[in-house]
Amino acid sequence: MLCRDIQTWVLIFLVISPTIFNISLSAGLDSRRAAKKRRMSEKVRKMFYHAYDNYMTYAFPHDELKPLTKTFTNSLSELGNLKLEYLPQKYNGSALTLIESLSSLVIMGNNTEFEKAVLWLSDNLTFDVDARINLFECNIRVLGGLVSSHILATDSTSRLVQGLYKNQLLFLAEDLGRRFLPAFDTPTGLPYAWINLKYGVMENETTETSTSGCGSLILEMGALSRLTGDPRFESAALQALRKLWSMRSSLNLLGTTLDVATGEWIEYSSGIGAGVDSFYEYLIKAHILFGRDEFWRMFQSAYLAVQKYFRHGPWYHEADMRTGKATYWQLTSLQAFWPGLQVLVGDIAAANSSHREFVYLWEKFGVLPERYLLDHQMLHPTEKYYPLRPELAESTFYLYQATKDPWYIEVGESIVDSLNLYTKVEGGFASIKDVTTMDLEDHQHSFFLAEMCKYLYLLFDDSFLVDRNYIFTTEGHPLPVMSSWHERIPTYIQSNGTSVKSENLAKRAHAMSLRVCPATTLNSGHSSQRIESACHIHDARGDHRCSTDDDCGVDSTTCRQRSCSMAGYCGLWFFV
Ligand code: DMJ
């Protein structure tokens, strides 16, 4: 009898011990990962304050910090102004970096500094300055920074001492928005790229602008209209967007530069990088924020055209909007935002493989060079710089949100290490002039605080996002998705397959909350094991080309068969 009992116990032990062992192993792994994320978020917080404190000490209230000489630049009037034309004589800056830091301060939980900054801006900031600025840059950095911070200052979390905040940031934003309006007074409704904040459009102003310049205004100007009740901002941005979309080719492609007076294209070649990037981003994000079908229809056609004509395996080249024929085979640092956009669409597998290419390049050079010639496998001879661009960190954050794959944490860690190794100086973080020599340039761009530090921090600590649904503008400023702004609450599919309409379920019910890509640990032959994303799916033939749908395999997120495009590349052409 006793013997049989012992046998039974041994049997039970043998059955359950591997389970217990596995559970404790994975609990151990989980707690190590959590500790690592805490360590990393602390590291990023320190980076942010190193950049912020140095700005406040040596540059504030001017626009940006020069970290090598510990001085400042009034760069708002220089942004996008490659030839540095018509620079103002008496402009002393608009505290650009402080405005750009506001939402990051909130995300990192520093309400005291946020309050101090809000009060300083309320008392001192003025846009009545004789400075010619770039509409796009001023919109994404200044208007976006103010609108987003106004919402953060007035949400239910009571971050500011009661009674202190009387919508001062919104008044500033409204004043700025009004100064933008004359730019839209053109025969086409497409805005001038440049406007003088005090005097409006200058005589003989250039009529040339870019696709992103006139197609990436709808989030900030739309939000401003919803907040102020003045419809003019949203309607100007919408009219410009519709006009731009009407200029697409029969292939649903757009060019890069155009004339706002004639509505004619100047540059027919375009891709997903400079001059175009945020146009795509704003179509999908405007759909998420305002729920308008019109934005979705535009986005869907535009996205399909990009995948069809620009995509080459994990890369995106440029093509002529009229013929779809490839023009330039270049990988640029700005394009690294695209995988993040694909996460919002739910095209996680494509996001994953393209993100991977940018990571390879980051690893090869230590940071991302501005332009890499895909056809020659070499750096662009003159664009070897790295101005602290945040796009790879941004995509890494989105992909980690969607997959919870720890490999992305490792990518984030390597970005943090490189930034600290190559760009950190006593006076802040400096841009890199040449990635082959790692020589530095005396400039700490404001987007380092608005985007780079924010996305890295959120990668390791996303507590700000728990139970809240935000979209981030192209400059990383959060805007909440609210039913009052939403034309219709979309239907979300629950995990049990039923569909529901409810604002609560709208919270994080998009692709970012999916956990579809478990990690596998590969034994690399060295003592340290390398974590590999199980989502890294190559097209079946390995060269990313296909002749039939069978070559393409199944999309890991939707389980739908990917199909072969007319150009011979695999993709998921129908989604959501
Ligand atoms: C930022 O100002 C924005 O992300 C913009 O859309 C383009 N790139 C810079 C940072 O690289």
Residue 474 CA, ligand 1 centroid: distance in Å: 6
Q: For 515-544, what is the mean pLDDT?
A: 46
Any domain includes 26: no
Among the ranges given (10-14, 156-160, 200-204, 309-313), the one the predictor scored with the smallest mean pLDDT: 10-14
Tokens 């409810």 sit at which residue? 502
Kindly provide the residue ranges of all beta strands, DSSP E only, lying in 342-417, ordered along the sequence. Answer: 371-373, 378-379
Q: What is the phi-psi region of residue 562: left when phi exceeds 0, alpha when psi lies from -120 to 50, beta otherwise?
A: beta
Shared domain for 519 and 563, answered yes or no, is no
Any domain includes 4: no
Shared domain for 507 and 564, answered yes or no, is no
Q: Nearest-CA neighbor of 339 among 311, 372, 379?
A: 311
Q: What is the phi-psi region of residue 212: left when phi exceeds 0, alpha when psi lies from -120 to 50, beta otherwise?
A: alpha
Query: The pTM is what?
Result: 0.86
Our answer on whether the CB atom of 278 is closer than 6 Å to any ligand 1 atom is yes
439 in catalytic set: no
Select which of 391, 441, 442, 451 is catalytic: 391
By most ligand atoms within 8 Å of CB, the mutation choice from 451, 454, 471, 472 for ligand 1 is 451
Residue 296 CA, ligand 1 centroid: distance in Å: 23
- Identify the residue whose C-alpha is closest to ligand 1 atom 1: 475
Residue range of the domain that includes 244: 56-544
CA dist 265 and 261 (Å) reads 11
Into how many domains does the chain fold? Answer: 2
Shared domain for 508 and 360, answered yes or no, is yes
CA dist 216 and 387 (Å) reads 22
Shared domain for 347 and 410, answered yes or no, is yes
Any domain includes 49: no
CA dist 31 and 20 (Å) reads 16
Select which of 347, 370, 461, 539 is catalytic: 370
Percent of the chain scoring above 90 in pLDDT: 70
Shared domain for 449 and 313, answered yes or no, is yes
- Environment class of 574 (CB within 10 Å of its CB; exposed 0-12, middle 13-18, buried 19+): exposed
Q: Give 540's Cβ-side CA count (13 Å radius).
A: 17
Shared domain for 74 and 99, answered yes or no, is yes
Element at 21 (helix H, strand E): helix 2-58
Q: Which pair of tokens denotes residue 508?
A: 């994080």
Any domain includes 3: no
Other CB atoms within a 10 A radius of the CB of residue 483 amount to 12
The answer, yes or no, to whether residue 92 has pLDDT greater than 50, is: yes
Q: Give 62's Cβ-side CA count (13 Å radius).
A: 21
By most ligand atoms within 8 Å of CB, the mutation choice from 63, 76, 332, 334 for ligand 1 is 334
Shared domain for 387 and 533, answered yes or no, is yes
Any domain includes 311: yes
Q: What is the pLDDT of residues 421-466, one digit of tens each?
A: 999 999 999 999 999 999 999 999 999 999 999 999 999 999 999 8
Among the ranges given (282-291, 384-393, 418-427, 554-563), the one the predictor scored with the smallest mean pLDDT: 554-563
Shared domain for 512 and 559, answered yes or no, is no
Any domain includes 32: no
CA dist 482 and 469 (Å) reads 8
Q: For 79-83, what is the mean pLDDT?
A: 90
The answer, yes or no, to whether residue 264 has pLDDT greater than 70, is: yes
Shared domain for 513 and 560, answered yes or no, is no
Q: For 78-106, what is the mean pLDDT?
A: 94
Q: What is the pLDDT of residues 498-529, one digit of tens each?
A: 555 555 444 443 445 544 444 455 454 444 44
137 in catalytic set: yes
Our answer on whether the CB atom of 447 is closer than 6 Å to any ligand 1 atom is yes
Tokens 């003592």 sit at which residue? 527
Whole-number pLDDT of residue 11 = 57
Residue 140 CA, ligand 1 centroid: distance in Å: 9
Whole-number pLDDT of residue 350 = 85
Residue 83 CA, ligand 1 centroid: distance in Å: 19
Select which of 78, 100, 137, 461 is catalytic: 137
Among the ranges given (60-74, 183-197, 237-251, 518-532), the one the predictor scored with the smallest mean pLDDT: 518-532
Any domain includes 143: yes
- Environment class of 478 (CB within 10 Å of its CB; exposed 0-12, middle 13-18, buried 19+): buried
Q: What is the pLDDT of residues 106-130, one digit of tens each?
A: 999 999 999 999 999 999 999 999 9
Q: In the structure, what pLDDT confidence band is assigned to residue 312 with cuts at 50, 70 and 90?
A: confident
294 in catalytic set: no
* Cβ 387 vs Cβ 451: under 8 Å: no
Shared domain for 540 and 570, answered yes or no, is no
Shared domain for 267 and 143, answered yes or no, is yes
- Quick one: which atom of ligand 1 is closest to the CA of 333? 11
Asked, as a colleague might, if the bond just before 61 is cis with ω within 30 of 0, I would say: yes
Would you give the end-to-end CA distance of the chain in angstroms? Answer: 62
Shared domain for 203 and 136, answered yes or no, is yes
* Cβ 323 vs Cβ 379: under 8 Å: no
Any domain includes 320: yes
Q: Could you tell me the CATH number of the domain that includes residue 285?
A: 1.50.10.10
Whole-number pLDDT of residue 402 = 87
**In sequence order, what are the beta bridge partners of 499?**
493
Helices (H) and strands (E) in the chain, counts: 18, 26
Residues 6 or more apart in contact with residue 146 via CB below 8 angstroms: 99, 169, 170, 172, 173, 176
Beta strands 431-434 and 439-441, pairing class: antiparallel
Percent of the chain scoring above 70 in pLDDT: 81
Residues recorded for the chain: 576
